Structure 1
Amino acid sequence: MTDSTDGTWEDESEWEVGDPDSVDDDEKFSGPPPVVAVVGRPNVGKSTLVNRILGRREAVVQDLPGVTRDRVSYDALWTGRRFMVQDTGGWEPDAKGLQGLVAEQASVAMRTADAIILVVDAIVGATAADEAAAKVLQRSGKPVFLAANKVDGERGEADAAALWSLGLGEPYPISAIHGRGVADLLDRVIEDLPTLSEVTGGGTGGPRRVALVGKPNVGKSSLLNRLADEERSVVHDVAGTTVDPVDSLIELDGKVWRFVDTAGLRRKVGQASGHEFYASVRTHGAIDAAEVVLVLIDASVPLTEQDQRVFSIVIEAGRALVMVFNKWDLVDEDRRYELEREIDRELAQLQWASRVNISAKTGRAVQKLVPALEGALASWDKRITTGQLNNFLKEVVAATPPPVRGGKQPRILFATQATNRPPTFVLFTTGFLEAGYRRFLERRLRETFGFEGSPIRINVRVREKRGAPRR
């Protein structure tokens, strides 16, 4: 069944030089790729443009949906450059709140993308919602490209030219549905993209970014105020207009931390449906803009699906995580026993996350948050050398080989840590690895190397047989 000495392992030397799926092609994984957000009001062609960018190159390798599919990210390739495309479509607000919602969407894109494409319907022309988005984007400091969509011929060029009025520079006339002008737009976008993302882990300068999230009334405001007021060390607030996020710079234990978009999460919005949308966008935006997330849970009441959903969003976003059980002053011995049972039952998949029991009201154990944050970030930043990783896997696989699938036992040929933030490992194999075996490998990785407080991603690349036709 195998020609290797231990029955499961094959040396990386078997890889063909120049094979695009081989370990020699590791530059694809050298760090987090830059993010391009595609924003605009409904029905202007955002998703069509995203599909045009992706479909021509057939470069979709992952689909990361949010709660209400407000934003979906795709891995894309253009002229040899890898980047993420963030589709911000998928919501249909009522007309009354459209202008504010588009501006909010643009505001989140400012925080979570390295470059932004604003799509406008050239036939309709600039609307109030387009103007609201443009005003927000002008202040972003990010490269912003104006895509004048639905320009199918020379007649539409004049419609596109009229969009200079938005103040975002030259409009790029395109037809997303036919592909006209899209290549020119992408060539220009690529010129201004950084090599690695400066918002998803590529940049290392400045205070570490912390998101404070959780369902309503768990004590987010109380904790932020406790951290700021008790230390009397709010350096300053970075605030914009009513739709801009608010960051607080707070000094804790002699170190400055940036708490992202926490005030925005508390802002009230008039209509219920609009409030739900704002809460969803702001929660996603805060998590995407952060490096580590403090998820607050009310320890005095049973865990809810909403609590679990917040955890899922953090894990999907690949952020470091600290579980904070607040209102510990209200937890008696009986409730403590029930809570431990709930955690074992409902949060079993999060045993790797750091946990701190606090009371924002009394200040109990709040000082333990900084060590938990630092530990989670250290795990999130951690890199394992290729030699360490492969020696570890040889031992693990020799003791516990992958389960047989379809009458054949898959072999792990070689492994590498593709990137950190979060730690992402790529396994090159001769066959598919069952989800249960990947979870087993994750547990063993954690036992050996730690990673407390950080999600781990394990990607499997199945090697084609030599001589098999490539598509």
Structure 2
Amino acid sequence: MTEEYDGWDIPAGDDDGGDDVQLPVVAVVGRPNVGKSTLVNRIIGRREAVVEDVPGVTRDRVTYEANWRGRRFTLVDTGGWDPGASGMAARIAEQAQVAAELADVILFVVDATVGATDVDEAVGAVLRRAGKPIVLAANKVDDQRAELEAASLWSLGLGEPLPVSALHGRASGDLLDAVLEALPEAPSEDTRREGGPRRVALVGKPNVGKSSLLNKLARSERVLVDPMAGTTRDPVDELIELGGKTWRFVDTAGIRRRARELQGADFYAGMRTQAALERSEVAVVLIDAAESITEQDLRIVSMVIESGRAMVVAFNKWDLLDEERRFYLEREIERALVRAPWALRVNISARTGRNVEKLVPAIETALESWSTRVPTAKLNAFFTELIAATPPPVRGGKQPKILFATQASTEPPKFVLFTSGFLEESYRRFIERRLREEFGFAGSPIVLTMKIREKKGSPAKARR
């Protein structure tokens, strides 16, 4: 829905805040050179996965968003299991187990022209015990003769082998129909908007104390805590009563490295953590105050910023610091969190429970800021005073003007500035700072977008 102002189309009211529904995950598994990447390219409709006629081209796990008959899902292209690797049986079992535990559907690809090998049977045995939905793709079936060969794959005990040719696209639609049938029910709407408990994601690097904090908030041992990093792999949802309200806390796996560097269980855990964050409304980022702030901590903060969620930064193990360390840490925080000076901060100890009660007011403030809407009249009165006191800097011999401003949506607050020219990034940062001084928004990111009308009658250009 839009309103018109002096020839502009202006967004009116809230938008849907983006599509935050967690997409189901389909993991494509199989031994090397059975055509997994070719099948992935066929499903997503473009050549993105690298394909060569040699085994082992796909080494890292790569995700793509796929769509079939209007149903979206995340497709994971996995590396093949190398039969020549040492400890093959252990590697096969581990990889298959990870996929079985953390994907919603397993798309098991077998080369129908070769038949079921010992490797295929080893994987099939693990998948049968897992109890997850399995779609068995008998690949490289290019003609009716090969369909007879595909029938031998019933011996794997994984149900009907579906003949398909990833290279030529033969019967790929039938295969995708089977995948859709195996997917979990699609939510009818964003789960954040069903009127249930507010969702809080606990994120941070491994062994920073997320599970300990969740147990302390719940006043019971809800989640396994172990000194060894990586105990939590899948997000764990817990309903917890705090401050007279019920909250849904999500204890996520620790994010170890950049997404492209993750392997095995870490890859799936990182993907689940990202999905859990996107389904949440506010993130509590835990940082170990007893250690220096690391690049890993900053990547996690950036991930929350990019997701558009409200944010509270909790410095855990604060009780272990002496006065000198606290002094230097304050300076370190100022430098490190320069991208998110708006994030609310709480110093806590998950082990002793020190100050954990302060988390709820901080979370409530962040959520309130995240949902704040500034009336258009009030917003433009603010901009009139702001521009009169500090006009935009001259660019290319011309001074751009802010003709009108509106708040397009909330969660997070998004503002559209209708201008006669481009506004420098430094001036946009100044605008954001003044917006926060005037209207608050503590704990919430702000998105500023420009719509530029350079000449009368020419179309506006949208800029971020």
Task: Give TM-score, length-normalised by structure 1.
Answer: 0.64
Count of residue pairs brought into register by the alignment: 412
| Relative contact order, higher structure (CA 8 A, sep 6+) | 1
Matched, 1:326 2:316: yes
Offset at 1:257? Answer: 3.4
Distance 1:51 1:440 in 2: 45
Matching residue within 289, 304, 308 for 2:276 = 289
Distance 2:393 2:38 in 1: 41
Matches for 1:43-442 after TM superposition, within 5 Å: 48-49=38-39, 51-55=41-45, 70=61, 72=63, 74=65, 81=70, 83=72, 85-89=73-77, 95=88, 96-105=90-99, 107-110=101-104, 118=107, 120-123=109-112, 127-129=121-123, 132=126, 136=130, 138=132, 149-157=139-147, 173-183=163-173, 194=186, 198=190, 201=191, 204=194, 206-228=196-218, 231-232=219-220, 246-261=236-251, 277-279=264-266, 281-290=268-277, 291=280, 292-380=282-370, 382=371, 384=373, 387=376, 391=380, 395=384, 401=392, 404=395, 417=408, 420=411, 422=412, 439=429, 442=432
Distance 1:171 1:300 in 2: 55
Change (3 A) 1:194 1:452: farther
Higher Cα radius of gyration: 2
Q: Which runs of 5+ in 1 are unaligned?
A: 1-9, 16-21, 59-67, 111-115, 267-273, 467-471
Offset at 1:358? Answer: 0.9
Distance 2:376 2:27 in 1: 43
Offset at 1:184? Answer: 5.6
Offset at 1:151? Answer: 4.1
Distance 1:249 1:30 in 2: 25
Q: Which runs of 5+ in 2 are unaligned?
A: 49-58, 225-231, 256-260, 460-464
Q: Residue deviations 1:158-195, cap 9 Å, x none? A: 56666778888776654444444445666787898747
Distance 2:221 2:162 in 1: 46
Offset at 1:260? Answer: 3.1
Q: Secondary structure at the match of 1:104?
A: helix
Task: Give TM-score, length-normalised by structure 2.
Answer: 0.65
Distance 2:452 2:78 in 1: 33
Q: CA RMSD in A?
A: 5.3
Q: Secondary structure at the match of 2:205?
A: coil
Q: Secondary structure at the match of 1:348?
A: coil
Offset at 1:105? Answer: 4.1
Distance 1:310 1:462 in 2: 33
Distance 1:23 1:160 in 2: 55
| Counterpart AA for 1:219 | G
| Counterpart AA for 1:118 | L
| Counterpart AA for 2:109 | V
Offset at 1:357? Answer: 0.4
Offset at 1:367? Answer: 0.6
Distance 1:152 1:436 in 2: 59
